């Protein structure tokens, strides 16, 4: 049975995931899809429901919390509800910003349209 409420857009964006409740748990991961309700990431360490996480994409940062977590072989997958976005000034950040404006317009920082240098 499909539990997803929103259409998901596939992604293979490389990121750094940090479990802020245990900052030493940080590593390279990947955003595997994005929807209005958040995004799904895979990481090489455990992510648990309720964890607060930071997702670094180039010079941008997304903050949220884990709403769903599972194990898939050697990777941990998590659904993240994004609460805040800080967009950087790089060309990569500008592309990310345009994509997020389409999918997550209600998240603070997404519609600001201001890029940091």
Judge whether 3 lies within some domain.
Answer: no
Is the pLDDT score of 90 beyond 80?
yes
**What percent of the chain shows pLDDT beyond 70?**
85
Is the pLDDT score of 22 beyond 70?
yes
Judge whether 1 lies within some domain.
Answer: no
pTM of the model: 0.83
Is the pLDDT score of 21 beyond 60?
yes
pLDDT of residue 30: 94
pLDDT of residue 6: 60
What's the CATH number where 98 sits?
Answer: 2.40.10.220
Measure Cα distances from 12 to 15, 23, 109 in Å. Answer: 9, 24, 22
Are 82 and 63 in contact, with CB atoms under 8 Å apart? yes
Are 51 and 68 in contact, with CB atoms under 8 Å apart? no
- For residue 88, give its domain range: 9-103
Judge whether 115 lies within some domain.
Answer: no
What's the domain count of the chain?
Answer: 1
pLDDT of residue 58: 87
Indicate the burial class of 30 (C-beta count within 10 angstroms; 0-12, 13-18, 19 or more): middle
């Amino acid at each position: 049975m499909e539990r997803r409420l929103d259409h998901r857009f596939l992604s293979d964006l490389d990121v750094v995931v940090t479990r802020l409740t245990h900052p030493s748990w940080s590593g390279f991961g990947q955003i595997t899809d994005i929807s209005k309700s958040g995004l799904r990431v895979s990481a090489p360490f455990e992510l648990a429901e309720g964890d607060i996480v930071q997702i670094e994409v180039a010079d941008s940062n997304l903050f949220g919390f884990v709403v769903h977590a599972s194990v898939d072989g050697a990777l941990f997958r998590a659904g993240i509800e994004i609460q805040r976005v800080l967009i950087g000034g790089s060309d990569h950040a500008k592309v990310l910003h345009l994509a997020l404006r389409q999918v997550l317009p209600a998240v603070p920082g997404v519609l600001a349209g201001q890029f940091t240098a």
